[in-house]
Chain A
Amino acid sequence: RKEVEQDPGPFNVPEGATVAFNCTYSNSASQSFFWYRQDCRKEPKLLMSVYSSGNEDGRFTAQLNRASQYISLLIRDSKLSDSATYLCVVESTGRRALTFGSGTRLQVQP
Chain B
Amino acid sequence: DVKVTQSSRYLVKRTGEKVFLECVQDMDHENMFWYRQDPGLGLRLIYFSYDVKMKEKGDIPEGYSVSREKKERFSLILESASTNQTSMYLCASSPRDGTYEQYFGPGTRLTVT
Contact B45 A102 (CB under 8 A): no
Contact B104 A44 (CB under 8 A): yes
Q: A43-B90, A44-B43 are in contact. Are A98 and B104 (CB under 8 A)?
A: no
Contact B56 A95 (CB under 8 A): yes
Proximity bits, B47-85, A CB within 8 Å = 1, else 0: 010100000101000000000000000000000000000
What residues of chain A lie closer than 8 Å to B43, measured between beta carbons? 44, 87, 100
User: Could you tell me how many residues of chain A have their Cβ less than 8 Å away from some Cβ of chain B?
Assistant: 22
Contact A97 B40 (CB under 8 A): no
User: Could you tell me how many residues of chain B have their Cβ less than 8 Å away from some Cβ of chain A?
Assistant: 23
What residues of chain A lie closer than 8 Å to B48, measured between beta carbons? 97
Contact B101 A46 (CB under 8 A): yes
Distance, CA A96 to CA B104, complexed state (A): 17
Select from chain B the residue with minimum beta-carbon distance to A88. B42
What residues of chain A lie closer than 8 Å to B105, measured between beta carbons? 43
B100 to chain A, nearest CB (A): 7
Proximity bits, A87-110, B CB within 8 Å = 1, else 0: 100011001111111110000000
What residues of chain B lie closer than 8 Å to A103, measured between beta carbons? 42
Taking a contact as CB atoms closer than 8 A, the residue among A31, A49, A92, A101 that contacts B42 in the complex is A101
Distance, CA A4 to CA B45, complexed state (A): 14
Taking a contact as CB atoms closer than 8 A, the residue among B41, B98, B104 that contacts A45 in the complex is B104
Proximity bits, B82-113, A CB within 8 Å = 1, else 0: 00000000100000011111111111000000
What residues of chain B lie closer than 8 Å to A100, measured between beta carbons? 35, 42-43
What residues of chain A lie closer than 8 Å to B41, measured between beta carbons? 102
